[in-house]
Amino acid sequence: MNTSSLIQPRYRLTTAEQLLADKMARYWTAFAKSRTAEVTWPSDLIAWPKYDPKQQQSMEFNLNLSVVSDYNGLNCDFWDKYGYVN
């Protein structure tokens, strides 16, 4: 949310990091306005797919945004074998 100036000692984002922060803020703004991360105005952002358990796609936020399938799947599969504690 562009709050890097609040980090002590003060941290200056690189140009690439600032671009990523701006993109993330635009996704969050779209979500707050419409309860979906679909950015409807002309944009350089990629489409954030609605979650489908069969495809298991998710957005990966790094300096180059991407949609990945089965993110961290091996670790999730490991824990799936043991069930969940509520």
pLDDT in tens, 18-64: 888 888 888 888 888 888 777 766 677 888 888 888 888 888 888 88
Residue 8 three-state SS: coil
Q: Given a cut of 80, is residue 86 above it in pLDDT?
A: no
Task: Count CB atoms within 10 A of the CB of residue 46.
Answer: 13
Half-sphere exposure of 43 (CA within 13 A, CB side): 16
Top-confidence residue, 60 or 3: 60
Measure the CA–CA gap between 30 and 39, rounded to whole angstroms. Answer: 6
The confidence score (pLDDT) of residue 21 equals 86
The answer to pTM > 0.75 is no
pLDDT at position 41 is 63
Give the closest residue to 45 by CA, choosing from 64, 72, 73, 70: 64
